[in-house]
Structure formats: structure tokens, C-alpha cells
Amino acid sequence: MRRVLIGLLTLLMLGSAAPSSVAASGAASGSASVRTAKIYSIRTTDATKGVITVVGTLSPAPAAGTRIPLHQWIPSLKRWQEVAHGYSSGSSVTITTVQPGSIRTYRIAVGPQAPYAAAISPMISFKHYVWRGMFKKGLLAAGGAGQPQFTVVPPKEGPRRSEADLLANQGGYVWGDVDSTGCRYSRNWLGNLTDGLARVSLHNGTQALTSVRMQQETETWLNYDITGVTRLRLQVADVRSGYGPYVSIDSLLLCTN
């Protein structure tokens, strides 16, 4: 009888111990520390080379020198892809990457470090504007009057796809259209080889935006904000010359594509 009582008491003790162990485990998991990650700033720091600089914050700070990847969402693949990484310094990290002009979504991440689980930052969309040649995507159309010629320098001679020669007969003019969707600024170096006066202008389609009159054998710049312009026209017209307008250009667009 004594042995039976001892056995019953043992079972009762084990039964009362099980719930307290589960409760303790639940309390421990519920109180697990959480680390947060956030993109504090993201900006284009070199529009010529296409450099993006991302500054992230990590709280609490991970171990010094922790590798922090920068992810970019790739729509065509429908997945995240690491495009660069940096190393933590205190509670911050700075990451740089070279990317073509784009509108993409980014995030940063930090792996697990006891007692913290892995953390991923909220996503952030970013418009990355990069300078590219005006003729990277080719001409949509060209025309004018007086035997107009709009000649883009071939890729082997002008790999940036930014150089062209525009000329026409005396009293004539020449124009060329490009797709400027996703672009916000046009920067044009102009060299006037005309034996007289020529006018160079930018148009939104056929509507004039800005122009400059150039003296014989001079150089100048024609720059303009083209936000919202989807069909940009560059035109050279004769003002007063003996043989007609002849202008060489080196033109760039600041674009997300």
C-alpha cells in the first residue's frame, strides 16, 4: 500500500511540473529580443557613374563589422536579389552600389545574432537618375528642310551614344526626336561650325521650350529641365549663313532608364 501511495504522489508531482515548464518556455519565447533594421536614406551620389549610397540603421547595434546585404526587387524574376553589401559600424551601415538608371524597390537585412533573430527593413522605392547618351535608344524620327542631315556618330566612334552632326542647306533647318520618357533634364554641348549665325532649340514634340543663337565657330551649352516631356526634339536652324547651318552636339539625358 505504501508503494502505491508513493507512485501516486510521484505521478501527481510530474503532472503539476509539465504545465509550469510549458509556461516558462512560452514566457521565454515571448520575451525574446527583437532587432530592427531601417533604410535611413537612399540617394544617387554620382549620376555620371550611377552610384547609389544607402545608409541604414540597426537597433540594437549588431556586432561590429557585421555583413549587411542590400537587396533589390527584380520584377522580371519576381524575387529579391543582393546587389551590394556593407559592414556595420555601431548602429549604422553605409552601402554603395553602381546601378543603371531605374525605379526599383530596396531593403536591407541583418542575420541572426543571439539573442536576436534576423531582421529585414521595410521596403523603399527609389528613382535612380543617371546620365546617358541622348541617342542610346536611337532616333524616333528626323527631318527638316533644305536637305537636312541628322547623323548620329556610330557606336564604335561614340560609345556613349551622345554625339551627332546636324546640317542643312542655306536657309534650312534639321531636327531629330528621341524618346525622353523617364528623363528629367537635358544637357547639350554645342559646337557651331556654321559660316554664320545658327539657332539651336529644344522642343516638347513640336512646341519650343528653349533656344540659343550661336555665332560663327563658337561653343556653348543648352540645358533644360524636361520633366514630363516624353518626345524631345533637338533642332538646328539657319539664321544667316553662306552655306547653311552645321552644328556638332554632345547631348546627355538624366533618366531612370
* Mean pLDDT on 135-140: 96
More confident residue, 3 or 51: 51
pLDDT of amino acid 106: 98
Residue 140 in this model has a pLDDT that exceeds 60: yes
Q: Residue 9, SS3?
A: helix
| CATH 2.60.120.680 placement within the chain | 133-255
Task: With 0.85 as the threshold, say if the pTM is over it.
Answer: no
Least Cα distance to 201 among 226, 179, 181 occurs for 226
| CATH 2.60.40.10 placement within the chain | 36-128
pLDDT of amino acid 209: 97
Which parts of 31-149 fold into alpha helices (H)?
none
Query: Exposed, middle or buried by CB within 10 Å (0-12, 13-18, 19+), for 121?
Result: buried
Percentage of the chain modeled with pLDDT above 70:
88
Protein fold of 133-255: Jelly Rolls (2.60.120)
Q: Which three cell numbers stand for residue 169?
A: 542647306
Backbone angles phi, psi at 110, to 5 degrees: -135, 135
- CATH pick for 36-128 out of 3.30.70.1400, 2.60.40.10, 1.10.10.10, 3.10.310.30: 2.60.40.10
* Mean pLDDT on 7-15: 34
Residue 28 in this model has a pLDDT that exceeds 80: no
* Mean pLDDT on 163-187: 98
Least Cα distance to 165 among 200, 204, 126 occurs for 200
